[in-house]
């Protein structure tokens, strides 16, 4: 599915004033491009709700030019939880992206029927892919998992054109014996303490060091 969004260049307009007018200030950038712009907040919400950070958004500029981008960061207002600034990373022809794709569990694990607990320590898989080939998700069939069995990243069947970047030995799903349930819950609680800052939806990658504009 294609996602399109009208974008407008901005110059001296204060970001605060734009927000008051229902507009979302931002920037589009890569190593060769760095331009200030804004989009209509309501339209951005509609598009971003479906495209997220995993799909290409084509920006339609006032001069008739179209630019393929992906959202690299959305800064939120901490109190209102509304977007205040967006970074669009401009793609070049033939460029692959390193990104995370959601894992989707399929089936019911055999070991769960015998009292085991399904553990899924990995929810996203890091891959390298051309923008137009980005899958919506990658399926993980857990039906054959008995207690003690595990599926690793290397075991997953990836769509054509998708290259695995996650460590192949990483456990994606496993069925834990009943006696290990408390240990599993303790590890999950510990991991929850290291969640990302809530006001940042997505951080940019190091290779995109051209540097997007900071929001006010």
* pLDDT tens column, 156-200: 999 999 999 999 999 999 999 877 666 766 666 665 555 444 445
Phi, psi of 76 (to 5 degrees): -105, 150
Q: How far is CA 67 from the centre of its chain?
A: 20
The pLDDT tens digits of the residues spanning 83-140 come to: 999 999 999 888 888 888 999 999 999 999 988 999 999 999 999 998 878 888 999 9
Domain spans of the chain? 3-93, 97-187
Alpha helices in the chain (DSSP H): 15-20, 41-51, 110-113, 181-192
Say whether domain 3-93 belongs to CATH 1.10.40.50: no
User: How far is residue 47 from each of residues 9, 51, 201, measured CA to CA in Å?
Assistant: 19, 6, 15
User: Does the fold of domain 97-187 match that of domain 3-93?
Assistant: no
Looking at 2.170.120.20, 3.40.50.2300, 3.30.70.330, 2.30.30.90, the CATH number of the domain 97-187 comes to 2.170.120.20
pLDDT tens column, 17-55: 999 999 999 999 998 899 999 999 999 999 999 888 878
Q: Which residues does 87 contact at the CB level (< 8 Å), separation at least 6?
A: 26, 27, 28, 29, 71, 72, 73, 74, 204, 212, 213
Count of other CB atoms within 10 angstroms of residue 171: 15
Structure pTM? 0.65
């Amino acid at each position: 599915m294609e996602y399109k969004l009208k974008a407008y260049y901005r110059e001296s307009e204060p970001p605060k004033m734009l927000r008051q007018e229902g507009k979302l200030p931002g920037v589009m950038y890569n190593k060769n491009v760095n331009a200030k712009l804004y989009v209509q907040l309501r339209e951005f919400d509609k598009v971003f709700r479906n495209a997220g950070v995993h799909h290409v958004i084509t920006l339609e500029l006032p001069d008739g030019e179209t630019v393929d981008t992906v959202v690299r960061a959305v800064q939120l207002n901490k109190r209102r939880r509304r977007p205040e600034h967006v970074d669009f990373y401009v793609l070049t022809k033939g460029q692959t992206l390193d990104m995370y794709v959601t894992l989707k569990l399929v089936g019911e694990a055999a070991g769960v029927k015998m009292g085991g607990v399904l553990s899924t320590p990995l929810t996203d898989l890091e891959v390298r892919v051309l923008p137009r080939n980005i899958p919506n998700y990658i399926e993980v069939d857990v039906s054959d998992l008995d207690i003690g069995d595990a599926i690793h990243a290397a075991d997953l069947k990836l769509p054509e054109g998708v290259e695995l970047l996650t460590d192949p030995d990483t456990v994606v799903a496993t069925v834990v014996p009943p006696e290990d349930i408390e240990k599993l819950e303790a590890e999950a609680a510990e991991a929850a303490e290291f969640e990302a800052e809530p006001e940042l939806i997505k951080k940019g990658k190091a290779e995109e060091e051209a540097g997007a504009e900071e929001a006010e």
